[in-house]
Amino acid sequence: MTRGARWFPWIVLGLAELYLAAGLIPPRIPEGTMRLDALGRLPVVDRGRLKPVDTLARASLMSISGRQTFTGADGKSGTAVRWLLDLMTDRLRSESVAAKHRVFRIESDQVLAALDLKERPGLRYALEEFEGKIGKIQAEARRASAVPSGARDLFDRKILELWEKLQVYRSFRDLEAPRIVPPVSGRTDWLSFLDAFHAVQEGGGENPSALGLGRILAAYAEGRTDDFNRELAQYGMSLEQSFPAGIRHARHEELFNRFEPFYRGLTLYLIA
């Protein structure tokens, strides 16, 4: 065996380790940009489980679009966290940004025809392309839901699927979800931003976390980068004092998401 052949397996192993280690390196954030990565590490409660915003955004976008990134009106790709923020700040803008993102995957040619949409590569459409047909979608979904599940045809199933996607989308846009406001003194439940606002109006006292999140969302919607980063840093520090275990859990899970162990393992398997 030649010296090169003897060392080859060790070289391959070293390269594999470097590839895996690269997934643990935090992404480089250009100076003067919003720290969306830090926001992605904030904790939320979704379906009874504490998780980072990053996990919630990825899973929600995947359920609507079939992937964890989106394509904006400019043709550029964006992260799931950016999509979620665009959606949660939609009501704060004079013109919707979220409605221009091509995130709704519509596979049924019958549904596309009903919405006067033409088939395109990827089969993903922006809300603004069929927003005028939401009433029709709702009516068809109501009709299809009255049909016994075993008797529903393909159109019935696909129109119900689209309606469910629209409900997820609407819940974020109207701030009914996620449950991102941590408990205040005397309570144990996490609240959505909308529920926290209503609780304050009903005499529940001030909610510093809700106010902090409100400032973060306003700064994002208005493009105030410095204010966004400052408010986010202050909010993160307050959570570290109040919910240290939750912060640690969210950060570890966000690191797991970024590392993408299954994808990296599959890549190494295919190369091998």
Whether residue 13 is predicted with pLDDT greater than 50 in this model: the reply is no
Q: What is the Cα 71 distance to its own chain's centre?
A: 14
* pLDDT tens by residue, 78-134: 999 999 999 999 999 999 999 999 999 999 999 999 999 999 999 999 999 999 999
Nearest residue to 101 via CA among 158, 178, 172, 192? 172
pTM of the model: 0.83
**23-27, 51-55, 138-142, 185-189: range with lowest mean pLDDT:** 23-27
Q: Are 144 and 97 in contact (CB under 8 A)?
A: no
Q: Which long-range contacts (CB under 8 A, 24 or more apart) does 156-164 make?
A: 158/106, 158/107, 158/108, 158/110, 158/111, 159/108, 159/111, 159/114, 162/104, 162/106, 162/111, 162/137, 163/137, 163/138
Tokens of 65: 């679009």
Question: DSSP 3-state assignment of 195?
Answer: helix
| Residue 132 backbone phi and psi in degrees, to 5 | -70, -10
Distance CA 227, CA 223 (A): 9
Residue reference for tokens 């979704």: 46
